[in-house]
């Protein structure tokens, strides 16, 4: 603490620097009062929207269509209402920030931070994995006047009501239309696939599973007939060869040769026909694995399409039911439970408390300044300080003798020209700051003037205290 090491020395410091402490305290109190007076009032108004559950609740209806919870719907609507274009429309319609030289982006930012959306969770217990539900939504708006706060809150509340009603109806109708289109598309796809499968079966009828047993039986019969024909051909050819080996052919032998030739030709033709049929059957049977694979692919595709068709058919019925409920106003809806009213008191209260805090802080600041000045100018002022610092005991203590007739006004007169120049420079400094773009605080020019005057008084008091 430097030279201050006892209560008497502290009291002496406060007494010596009483003028400085008083000046700093007065300056702080004046600035606090100016800030409190210049602080604009802020009013807040709140509108309440109730989220009504569907009148007709079905476990199936909406299970696949209306998967979006009320909290998600409200969040989506809130994002739509707080877009830049919509905020500018609200600012223009409500006449907000007309007296402030702000850009559109700055106005939008001010309006966004003045809005507050609060949701009230539903008391109903949500199922496992089910999204959270909301029972009410509170829309709070802050504005400089009571009427503007109420109008802005009601404007956004009405926007949520309109967007909620139109959005729910539009979503249910779009869902029903989408599922109807999917149902038509799947019907056409199933019909086309069945037609293609039938055409493939017709072109490969011999290799179908139902025809394979018949073909194999026919192939066995053909093999038996071919063996019989081969035996008959061998016998006829042997007989013809035996007759041809005779040296002398009789008329009966010649007739027998002609008969054998005709028989051999007939048997050969039959054998060729049976062989061709057997080869055809073998070719058809060899295609069986490929036909089975292709038919299995057709069956899998048909099964998949039919499964999708069943799901789409069920969802189409659910979407149509949800659309009917919404048309009859039996679905989930929003209701304005409480309109925003003009508030009675501003939320920016506590001016008396702020003034008291400023006064106490100003007094503490004055004491701190006095301590700092005393530390910067260490002077041995008392007998105890002299003994403690120099280890010498003073013989005589001569008090400070002031010349009579010198008042505080005479003490301050030498500093008045410089303080006058300083006071004249305050408006010029304000004009330079305004020319550089600090027009956002142009409305506080009286406060700046008062601040300059209080600063001049503080400097005068400080100069007088340090002389």
* C-alpha span between 34 and 55 (Å, rounded): 58
pTM for the full predicted model: 0.48
* C-alpha span between 189 and 183 (Å, rounded): 10
Max mean pLDDT range (58-62, 373-377, 422-426): 373-377
The pLDDT tens digits for 316-367 are 888 777 766 655 554 567 888 889 898 888 886 667 787 888 889 988 988 8
Instruction: Report which of residues 30 and 434 the model is more confident about.
Output: 30
* C-alpha span between 232 and 237 (Å, rounded): 9
Cα of 204 vs its chain's centroid, Å: 57
How much is the pLDDT for 45?
92
Do you know the residue count of the chain? 467
Chain region(s) in the chain for CATH 3.30.1890: 43-180+328-338
Q: Which value, in Å, is the radius of gyration of the alpha carbons in the chain?
A: 54
Judging by beta carbons within 10 Å of its beta carbon (0-12, 13-18, 19+), is residue 258 exposed, middle or buried?
Answer: exposed
* C-alpha span between 251 and 264 (Å, rounded): 20
Q: 205-286 sits in which CATH class?
A: mainly alpha
Enumerate long-range contacts of 369-373, CB under 8 Å, 24 or more apart: 369/17, 369/20, 369/21, 369/24, 370/13, 370/14, 370/17, 370/20, 370/21, 371/1, 371/4, 371/13, 373/17, 373/20, 373/465, 373/466
State the average pLDDT over residues 210-228: 74
What is the band of 135 on the pLDDT scale with cuts at 50, 70, 90? confident
Provide CB contacts within 8 A for 390, sequence distance 6+.
380
Distances (CA, A) of 465 to 15, 261, 390, 409: 11, 156, 27, 13
The pLDDT tens digits for 260-282 are 788 888 888 888 888 887 777 77
How much is the pLDDT for 62?
43
Chain region(s) in the chain for CATH 1.20.120: 205-286
The pLDDT tens digits for 56-99 are 544 444 444 445 577 788 888 888 888 999 999 999 888 888 88
Coil, helix or strand at residue 50:
strand
Return left, alpha or beta for 122; rule: phi > 0 is left, psi -120 to 50 is alpha, else beta.
Answer: beta
Distances (CA, A) of 111 to 81, 87, 98, 434: 12, 7, 13, 25
User: Is it the case that residue 448 has pLDDT exceeding 70?
Assistant: no
Any idea which fold 43-180+328-338 has?
Bacterial polysaccharide co-polymerase-like (3.30.1890)
Q: Which residue has the tokens 């199936």?
A: 60
User: Is it the case that residue 452 has pLDDT exceeding 80?
Assistant: no
* C-alpha span between 261 and 236 (Å, rounded): 8
How much is the pLDDT for 150?
92
Judging by beta carbons within 10 Å of its beta carbon (0-12, 13-18, 19+), is residue 272 exposed, middle or buried?
Answer: exposed
């Amino acid at each position: 603490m430097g030279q201050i090491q006892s209560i008497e020395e502290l009291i002496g410091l406060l007494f010596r620097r009483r003028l400085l402490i008083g000046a700093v305290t007065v300056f702080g109190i004046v600035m606090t009062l100016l800030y409190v007076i210049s602080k604009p009032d802020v009013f807040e108004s709140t509108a309440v929207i109730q989220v009504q559950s569907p009148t007709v609740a079905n476990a199936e209806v909406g299970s696949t269509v209306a998967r979006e919870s009320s909290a998600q719907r409200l969040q989506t609507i809130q994002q739509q209402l707080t877009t830049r274009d919509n905020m500018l429309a609200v600012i223009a319609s409500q006449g907000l920030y007309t007296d402030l030289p702000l850009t559109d982006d700055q106005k939008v930012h001010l309006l966004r931070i003045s809005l507050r959306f609060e949701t009230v969770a539903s008391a109903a217990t949500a199922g496992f994995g089910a999204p959270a539900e909301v029972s009410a939504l509170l829309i709070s708006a802050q504005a400089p006047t009571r009427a503007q706060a109420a109008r802005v809150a009601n404007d956004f509340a009405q926007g949520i009501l309109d967007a909620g009603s139109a959005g729910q109806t539009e979503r249910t109708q779009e869902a029903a239309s989408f599922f109807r289109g999917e149902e038509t598309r799947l019907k056409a796809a199933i019909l086309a696939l069945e037609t293609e499968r039938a055409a493939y079966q017709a072109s490969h009828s011999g290799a179908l599973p139902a025809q394979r047993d018949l073909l194999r039986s026919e192939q066995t019969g053909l093999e038996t007939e071919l063996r019989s024909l081969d035996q008959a051909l061998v016998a006829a050819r042997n007989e013809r060869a035996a007759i041809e080996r005779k040296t002398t052919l009789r008329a009966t032998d010649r007739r027998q040769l002609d008969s054998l030739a005709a028989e051999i030709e007939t048997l050969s033709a039959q054998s060729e026909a049976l062989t061709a049929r057997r080869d055809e059957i073998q070719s058809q049977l060899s295609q069986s694995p490929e036909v089975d694979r292709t038919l299995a692919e057709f069956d899998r595709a048909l099964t998949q399409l039919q499964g999708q068709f069943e799901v789409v058919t069920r969802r189409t019925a659910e979407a149509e039911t949800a659309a009917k409920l919404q048309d009859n106003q039996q679905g989930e809806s929003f209701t304005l439970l409480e309109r925003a009213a003009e508030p009675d008191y501003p939320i920016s209260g506590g001016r008396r408390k702020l003034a008291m805090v400023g006064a106490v802080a100003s007094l503490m600041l004055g004491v701190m300044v006095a301590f700092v000045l005393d530390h910067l100018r260490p002077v041995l002022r008392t007998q105890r300080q002299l003994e403690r610092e120099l280890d010498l005991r003073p013989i005589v203590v001569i008090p400070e003798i002031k010349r009579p007739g010198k008042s505080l006004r005479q003490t301050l007169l030498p500093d008045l020209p410089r303080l006058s120049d300083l006071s004249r420079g305050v408006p010029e400094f304000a004009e330079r700051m305004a020319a550089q773009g600090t027009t956002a605080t142009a409305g506080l020019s009286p406060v700046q003037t008062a601040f300059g005057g209080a600063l001049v008084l503080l400097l005068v008091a400080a100069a007088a205290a340090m002389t």
